[in-house]
Structure 1
């Protein structure tokens, strides 16, 4: 029976698949995939060129618009400053008018020139 035991063991051993041995790792050799380098196709060149030209055009337009906006803002600021100066001059002139048209001043000038006040001919004018 011992012989049959060995025979059964050999059959069982043959039935079990043997593990596939992996090649040993060798530090000097690294397996790399070979990649096929292809150049850029004509279509890709045209698409990249097109988008490059569009981007350049947008940049130029952006800079141009920024310059126009800056110029317009500067002109508006100059007009505001000029308007403020004119308003100040107008206020000063109105103050001068008020000072020169005081009743006592006008009455004194009239007396110095020999004019007499006639109440019937006085008309009040309101602004």
Structure 2
């Protein structure tokens, strides 16, 4: 019971709340938030980087084409060099076969030439 009294005393000591009058809220001018898009500077920078990337891509493709063309021409020249080298080796072999001593001697006999040992000179390479 004692607690009952105490609760009554505290509640009786508090002033009664006055009804609040609803006031119109004051209009505070807040700036409208800007739309979240790209600024002109950001757009210019992105455009610049895009153009640079495009130019680099086109340059890369052009250089790749030139390199492949040069590689093809180098391969053609190498194959021609190999063919020429084979032809030269064949010609050297033919010279060796045609300049054999017995062949030269038989041709000389057919044409009525005689061998004079005093006029023979051996030439070595």
**Residue aligning to 1:92:** 90
With over 3 angstroms needed to count, the CA separation of the structure-2 counterparts of 1:6 and 1:101, relative to structure 1, is farther
The unaligned stretches of length 5 or more in structure 2 are 11-32
Mapped pair 1:121 → 2:119: yes
1:88 and 1:7 map into 2 onto residues whose CA distance is 125
- Structure 2 residue 64 is matched with structure 1 residue 60: no
CA distance in 1, matches of 2:58, 2:123: 63
What secondary structure is seen at the aligned counterpart in 2 of 1:76?
Answer: helix
Aligned match of 1:24: none
Q: How many residues align?
A: 102
Alignment of 1:1-127 (within 5 A): 2-4=1-3, 7=6, 37-127=35-125
Deviations 1:31-61 (A, max 9, x none): xxxx863332110111011001100010011
Distance 1:38 1:52 in 2: 21
Once the 2 structures are TM-superposed, how far is the Cα of residue 95 of structure 1 from its aligned partner? 1.1
Q: Give 4+ residue runs of structure 1 displaced > 4 Å after superposition.
A: none
RMSD: 2.1
TM-score, length-scaled by structure 1? 0.72
Cα distance in 1, alignment partners of residues 34 and 97 from structure 2: 97
Q: Per the alignment, do residues 6 and 119 of structure 1 end up closer, same or farther by CA in structure 2, a change over 3 Å counting?
A: farther
In the TM superposition, residue 116 of structure 1 has moved relative to its aligned partner by 1.2
TM-score (norm 2): 0.73
